[in-house]
Amino acid sequence: MKLILTEEQQFLKDTAQSFARDKTPVTHFREMRDSENSQCWDESVWKEMVELGWSGILVPEKFGGSEFGMAGISVIMQELGKTLTPSPILSTSVLGVSAINMLGSDEQKDFYLPDMAKGEKLGCFGLTEADAKALVSEGILSADYDEHEEAIEFYDKALKIVETGEIYLNKGISLVELEKYDDAVACYDKASALDANDSLIWYNRGVALTQLEKYDDALSSYEKAIEVSPGYAGQNC
């Protein structure tokens, strides 16, 4: 079925066609590919796209976009694709904006969408499988933002796939941050049973036991950490 464009959509298509022909021909793609530009796209070209309003086509008007719709961005992407135009428009203005529009909270929309419409915040496309390694990475990222309850949920999901000392160690660290010291010690015990030669496990076990004022047991853990890795000598023991 042939797509019949409205006058506005045809204008967008013609503008994108001219832009791709004049600003980002295939030679531009090759230059970016062969350059030392780690981003693999030209910031000045992206700035021109933003000035044309392309970064805000899917952004609702109340957040500073034009809310022109999927048909509008589609004709632009079609023309840019013909010359292999390198830019963050797909990851940011299509995938990123769409994900936040559909799945984001009101707070996230307020925080991200206005700046994405202005091209000041960029999206990044990532693809992963729900394996234990990916879940642990999600947990560590959550912990970095002090979202330790969320981190523990990721670690628990990972532990249903495979039990490793590393996962129990990370879970224990988040439990300590939540001041759940008994649960943390239980995690470190499981971790040490799986990997008795990881000094971090013994050191963090000692930290949790110190918080519980179980100093003799804590000292034993610190001594084990030193035995495994002499670099821990003098740390809290």
pLDDT of residue 237: 46
The alpha-helical segments, DSSP class H, found in 58-131 are 70-82, 97-103, 106-117
Q: Is the pLDDT of residue 2 over 70?
A: no
With CA atoms as reference, report the closest residue to 75 among 17, 117, 120: 17
Domain positions in the chain: 7-117, 132-232
pLDDT of residue 131: 82
- The fold for domain 132-232 equals 1.25.40
pLDDT tens digit string along 194-207?
999 999 999 999 99
pLDDT of residue 153: 95
pLDDT band of residue 142 (cuts 50, 70, 90) is very high
With CA atoms as reference, report the closest residue to 42 among 84, 83, 86, 90: 86
Q: 19 near 81, Cβ under 8 Å?
A: no
pLDDT tens digit string along 171-198?
999 999 999 999 999 999 999 999 999 9
What percentage of the chain carries pLDDT values higher than 70? 94
Q: Higher model confidence: residue 150 or residue 229?
A: 150
pLDDT tens digit string along 43-80?
999 999 999 999 999 999 999 999 999 999 999 999 99
pTM: 0.56
3.40.640.10, 1.10.1660.10, 1.10.760.10, 1.10.540.10: CATH of 7-117? 1.10.540.10
| CA dihedral (95, 101, 105, 109) positive or negative | positive
